[in-house]
Amino acid sequence: MRKSKTKIIVASVFHACGADTAWYLLTMLLLALSGPLSILFRGRILDAAVSRDGKLLREMLCFAGVALLSFLAAYGNSIGKQRMRKKLYGHFSEKLLDKFTRISYAAYESPETMDAIKRAGDAPQEHILEFFTILLETISELVSVFCYGAVFASLSVWCLLLGTAAFGAVLFFDLKRIRLMMELYEGQTLDERLMESYEKALAARKTLYDLRVAGAVPHFLKKRKELSDGIVRERYRRTVQSQLVYSWGEMATVLWMAIVLLFSADALLKGKATLGLFVALAGSLQQMAGAFRSLGEKYSELQRRAAFVGYYMAFMELEEASAGKMASTDQEGPPAGKMASTDQEESPAGKMALTEKEALAGKKGTQEAAGPGIRFEHVTFTYPGQKEPALRDVSFALPPGTRTALVGHNGSGKSTLVKLLCGLYQPDSGRIFIDGRNIAELSPDALRRYFSVVFQDYGRYCFTLRENVELGDVEKMRAPDWERERHVQEALRQGLAEDLAGMLGKPLGNMSPEGIGLSGGQWQRLALSRACFRDSAVLLLDEPTASLDPVAENRLYANFTEMMRDRACILISHRLAVARYTDRILVLEGGRLTEEGNHDSLMEKKGLYASMYRAQSHWYVSQEGGHAGRDGAADPEAMGEGAGLPDICGAL
C-alpha cells in the first residue's frame, strides 16, 4: 500500500534534519502554550489588583516568565527552521539531480513528463519544508484552540459548540477556495510552458538573432502578450471567486464572536464571572477568532503545499532507464576501447560476421549465435505518443572495427538507430547485440563504455576548455596532470581543435567575466575532441560537420582514417562524399533498411544511394584534370579514387 504524503514528508524531514527537527517540535509546543498562558495571567493580574490579596507581584512575575519563554521559543523556532531549510536544500537538491540523471530518455517524449517536471518546480524542498512546518504550526494552533476552548467551556458549553461549528465552516470554505486555485494552476501548466518557450526564444541569442533578421520579434511579442493576458485574466477571475467563497467563513466567525460577547457581558452583569475572567474571555475571543482564521489559512496552505509535494512525488516516480539485468560490470564486456576480436578474416572493406543475406533474414537469432561486433535483429521502434514506427524490422551486423555510414533522407530513422544502440530507448520488438550480448541485459555503465557520441545537439558547458574536453571520460581526470595534459592535447588534435590548445584554462561561455565565446564551428570541433578523448570501441557521429567551415570539414574528412585508426565508427551525414571512404553503408528509407554495401556496390545497384549521390554530385568541383558533369559539375564516377573527398568543400 502506498504511503501517505504526510508519512513520506515527515520521514524525509526527520531523516535529513535529525536533531533540528526535535528542537523545532519543542519550540512549537512552547509557542502553542504561551498564548493561552499569557491570556490566563492577564486575567489573574487584574483580579489580584482588584482584590488586593498580595498575589499581584507573583502573578506579574509569572506573566513576565511566560513572555520571556515566548520570546525565546520564537527565536529558537526561527533558528531551527533556518537550519532545517539548509539541510533540506542539500538533501533534496541531490535527490532531484540524481533523478534527472536516471529518467528514461523516452520519457521526455511525453507531454505528461514535461508537465510533471514543470509542476515539480525549481525548489520542491521549500514545499516539503513548508508542508512540514505548517503541519506543526497547525497542530500548535489546535493545542492553543483547545486551551482557549477550556476557558469558554467554563462560561457556557454553547460557546464551545458554536465555536466548533464556526471553525468547521471556516475550514470548509477555505478548502473550497484552495481547490479553485489549484484547478487554475493545473489548468494553466501547458499555457505557462508555452509562454516560457516564447520568453526563451526572445532571450536566447541564437533565436533572437534569427527573429530580428526575419522581423518576427513583434509577432512573437504579440503571441506572448495574448497568452499572458489570457492567463492573467483567468487568474483574476478565479481569485475574485475564491475570495467570495472565503468571505462566508469570515462571516461565520464574526457571528460566533458576537454570540460569545453577549454571553460574556451577561455573565459579568449577573456576577457569574469576575472582571479578570471577563478580560480573559475577551482576550481569548480575539485569540480564538485569530486562531480560526489562522487554522483555516494553514489548512488551505497545507492542501496547496500537499499538491506541490504530490507533483514532486509524481516527478520522482517517472520512468527510469533500465539498470540492466546483470549486476556485475567487471564481466560485462571488454575494457573500454577494445571490442572483442574475431578470428574471421576481414577485408579492407570490412566483411560482416554473417553474410548479408543471413543478417537481413535474421536466421541466427539467438544470443549465442550473435558474433563479435554490433548486430541488430528485426528491430522495430515507435516513439512514445506516435502511431507510425520510426524503425521497422531493421537487421544488420557489423564486425569490430567497421567504419559505417548511415545514409537516408530526413526522418528515415538514422538518429533513432543510434539512440537505440546507445540504450537511450528500448525497441518495441527485436534485439540489439554488442559482442554477442543483448544490450537490454547490460547495465548503462557497461553499455556506455563502448561508445563516444557526438549528437547533433551537443552540449556547450560553461566550464574551462580543458574540462569541456575531459567530460568525455571523467575517469581520466584522476590521472596525473602531465598525463591529463597529453590526453587533452591528443584529443584536440584528433578533433581538429589544436588552435584552441592555448586556452585550456580559460572558462567558456558568458557565466564568468573572463569567459570566452566560441563560434558554432569551434564548439563542434570541441565536441568532436570530447568524443575522441574517450577510449571507446565505437565513435558515433551524428552530422559531425554541420557547423564546420569548408576548410575544417575538409580537414576532418582528410583525417577521418587517422581518427578511426583504433576504433569503429558509425557516421550519420547528408554529405555522401565521405560515405565512399567507409567500409559499409546502410541506407534507410521510411524506417526500413533498404540497401547495404560499400560505395562501389551500391552505385552498381543504381538504387536510392546512387540516386542521392548523383543528386549531390553537382556540388562537387573536380580536381585539376577531373571530368565535369552536366552544368560544369564534377562527375563523381569519372573522378579518380580520393578525388571526391578533398573536393567536397570546393564550391561551398
Q: Kindly write down the DSSP assignment for every residue of 551-610, as one continuous string.
A: HHHHHHHHTHHHHTTTSEEEEE-S-GGGGGGSSEEEEEETTEEEEEE-HHHHHHHTSHHH
Nearest-CA neighbor of 116 among 303, 316, 385?
Answer: 316
pLDDT of amino acid 406: 92
Residue pLDDT, tens place only, 579-609: 877 889 999 999 999 999 999 999 999 999 9
Residue pLDDT, tens place only, 58-85: 878 888 888 898 889 888 888 888 888 7
Top mean pLDDT of 97-111, 283-297, 301-315, 469-483 is at 469-483
pLDDT of amino acid 373: 86
CA–CA gap between residue 266 and residue 270 (Å, rounded): 6
> What are the C-alpha distances in Å from 596 to residues 540, 585, 608?
18, 6, 11
CA–CA gap between residue 391 and residue 478 (Å, rounded): 40
Residue 140, domain member (yes or no): yes
Residue pLDDT, tens place only, 482-498: 888 899 998 888 887 88
Residue pLDDT, tens place only, 337-369: 444 444 333 333 333 333 333 333 333 343 444
Q: Name the pairing type of β-strands 568-572 and 429-434.
A: unpaired
Q: Extract the C-alpha cell encoding 93.
A: 537538491
The larger pLDDT score, comparing residue 533 to residue 12, is at 533
Among 2-6, 166-170, 413-417, the range scoring the smallest mean pLDDT is: 2-6
Residue 159, domain member (yes or no): yes
pLDDT of amino acid 625: 40
Top mean pLDDT of 44-48, 317-321, 377-381 is at 377-381
Altogether, the residues listed in the chain come to a count of 652
Residue pLDDT, tens place only, 99-129: 877 777 777 777 777 777 776 665 667 777 7
CA–CA gap between residue 415 and residue 425 (Å, rounded): 12
pLDDT over 90 percentage in the chain: 8
Amino acid sitting at position 252: A
pLDDT of amino acid 191: 79
Contact between residue 318 and residue 116 where contact means Cβ atoms under 8 Å apart = yes
Top mean pLDDT of 25-39, 273-287, 633-647 is at 25-39
- Positive/negative CA dihedral, 193, 198, 200, 201: positive
Residue 431, pLDDT > 90, answer yes
Cβ neighbourhood burial of 562 (10 Å; 0-12, 13-18, 19+): exposed
CA–CA gap between residue 34 and residue 144 (Å, rounded): 9
Range of the domain at 33: 5-316
pLDDT of amino acid 623: 41
| Mean per-residue pLDDT of the chain | 74
Top mean pLDDT of 51-55, 263-267, 496-500 is at 496-500
pLDDT of amino acid 451: 85
**pLDDT class for 389, splitting at 50, 70, 90?**
very high
Q: pTM (2 decimals)?
A: 0.58
Structurally, the chain folds into a number of domains equal to 1
Alpha helices in 270-373 (DSSP H): 275-316, 356-361
129: how many CB neighbours lie within 10 A of its CB?
A: 23
Contact between residue 116 and residue 311 where contact means Cβ atoms under 8 Å apart = yes
Residue entry with cell 475577551: 282
Residue pLDDT, tens place only, 597-648: 999 999 999 999 998 888 887 665 444 344 444 333 334 343 333 333 333 3
pLDDT of amino acid 307: 75
- Positive/negative CA dihedral, 32, 34, 37, 38: negative
pLDDT of amino acid 273: 67
Residue 624, domain member (yes or no): no
- Positive/negative CA dihedral, 80, 82, 84, 86: negative
Calculated CA dihedral for residues 320, 326, 329, 333, nearest 10 degrees: -110
pLDDT of amino acid 643: 37
Amino acid sitting at position 302: L
- Contact partners, residue 166, CB within 8 Å, separation at least 6: 252, 253, 255, 256, 292
- Contact partners, residue 442, CB within 8 Å, separation at least 6: 324, 326, 332, 333, 423, 434
Sheet holding 391-398, edge to edge: 391-398, 374-381, 429-434, 437-438
Q: Extract the C-alpha cell encoding 435.
A: 559482442
CA–CA gap between residue 357 and residue 10 (Å, rounded): 62
Residue pLDDT, tens place only, 143-190: 777 777 776 676 667 777 777 777 777 778 777 777 777 777 667 777
β-sheet bridge partners, residue 571: 405, 541
Residue 392, pLDDT > 90, answer yes
Residue 258, domain member (yes or no): yes
> What are the C-alpha distances in Å from 194 to residues 115, 118, 189, 198, 235?
11, 11, 9, 7, 17
**pLDDT class for 213, splitting at 50, 70, 90?**
low
CA–CA gap between residue 592 and residue 64 (Å, rounded): 85
Residue 504, pLDDT > 60, answer yes
β-sheet bridge partners, residue 376: 396, 432
Residue 558, pLDDT > 70, answer no
Over residues 248-268, mean pLDDT: 75
Residue 462, domain member (yes or no): no
Q: Which residues of 216-233 are buried (b: 16+ CB within 10 A; e: fewer)?
A: eeeebeeebeeeeeebee
CATH of the domain at 9: 1.20.1560.10
Top mean pLDDT of 325-329, 340-344, 454-458, 603-607 is at 603-607
Q: Extract the C-alpha cell encoding 325.
A: 539485468
Contact between residue 66 and residue 284 where contact means Cβ atoms under 8 Å apart = no
The larger pLDDT score, comparing residue 553 to residue 75, is at 75
Q: What are phi and psi of 392, to 5 degrees?
A: -130, 110
Residue 225, pLDDT > 80, answer yes
- Contact partners, residue 347, CB within 8 Å, separation at least 6: none
Q: What are phi and psi of 318, to 5 degrees?
A: -60, 150
Q: Name the pairing type of β-strands 584-589 and 403-408.
A: parallel
pLDDT of amino acid 472: 86
| Exposure on the CB side of residue 313, measured as CA atoms within 13 A | 16
Question: Which DSSP helix (H) or strand (E) runs through 129?
Answer: helix 124-155
Residue 427, domain member (yes or no): no
Nearest-CA neighbor of 117 among 202, 190, 9?
Answer: 190
pLDDT of amino acid 351: 33
Residue 431, domain member (yes or no): no
Sheet holding 568-572, edge to edge: 451-454, 538-542, 568-572, 403-408, 584-589, 592-597
β-sheet bridge partners, residue 377: 431
Over residues 40-47, mean pLDDT: 75
Residue 237, domain member (yes or no): yes
